[in-house]
Structure 1
Amino acid sequence: MEINENLQAERNLKGAEFEKTGNLEKAVELYEENVAENFKGNHPYDRLATIYKNQNDIENEIRVLEKAIIVFEEITLEDRLEGLPKLFRFKNRLEKAVHTQTQLAKLARQKKSKLK
């Protein structure tokens, strides 16, 4: 599959516009297309992770961050050192999201045991 970087950049710009007007559903759709194509920039991963975090959708936040880490590990291996700080940032965000998911699961188990 041939990747059109201009189309990807346009999706990011349109996604940002949709976010500004409150149309998160359409923004997510555009960002997800870029993520599916392994976009080699941080924008769609950052935005999706933030949107999903704000929607308390931890599973999708984690999924997007894991994908970002895979993409930025490849970028770093291609000797594009600018990818390294972003890779560390995505790993840090993933660690926080996994911690949140663990805490939420723990709270759910505690609540369930109190109901018995």
Structure 2
Amino acid sequence: MKIGEKITGVVKGIQPYGVFLLLPNKRQGLIHISECQSGYVGNINQLFTVGQTVQAMIIDIDEYSGQISLSLRAMEERPTPRKYGSKHTWTQRKTRLGFAPLASEMNGFVCEALKKYKNA
């Protein structure tokens, strides 16, 4: 077994913090709750059942204790990142104006806000 390898195991125990898998060669591995899926896991018992066969990726092997850490999240397909050309930006990348346009209008913003909230 090595880190990055995909391995199949059988769920032998479910705890609030993760799932224990029985792996080949009678080894045991843990899928921590944070590695079960991307995002929040409200109830781990809704994702797994004892006896279920699961394929996971080895993400760590402790050399002293021999404990194996597994992940399902590492096997998820990641979305393709967007390119900057198609993403709308609120500033122009070529000009280096910074906050100067806002600073020049700041007094007007403050006066407008004071008028609005004085009458409220």
User: TM-score of the superposition, structure 1-length normalised?
Assistant: 0.21
**Larger Rg, first or second structure (1 or 2):** 2
Higher strand share: 2
Larger RCO, structure (CA 8 Å, separation 6 or more) = 2
User: TM-score of the superposition, structure 2-length normalised?
Assistant: 0.20
Higher helix share: 1
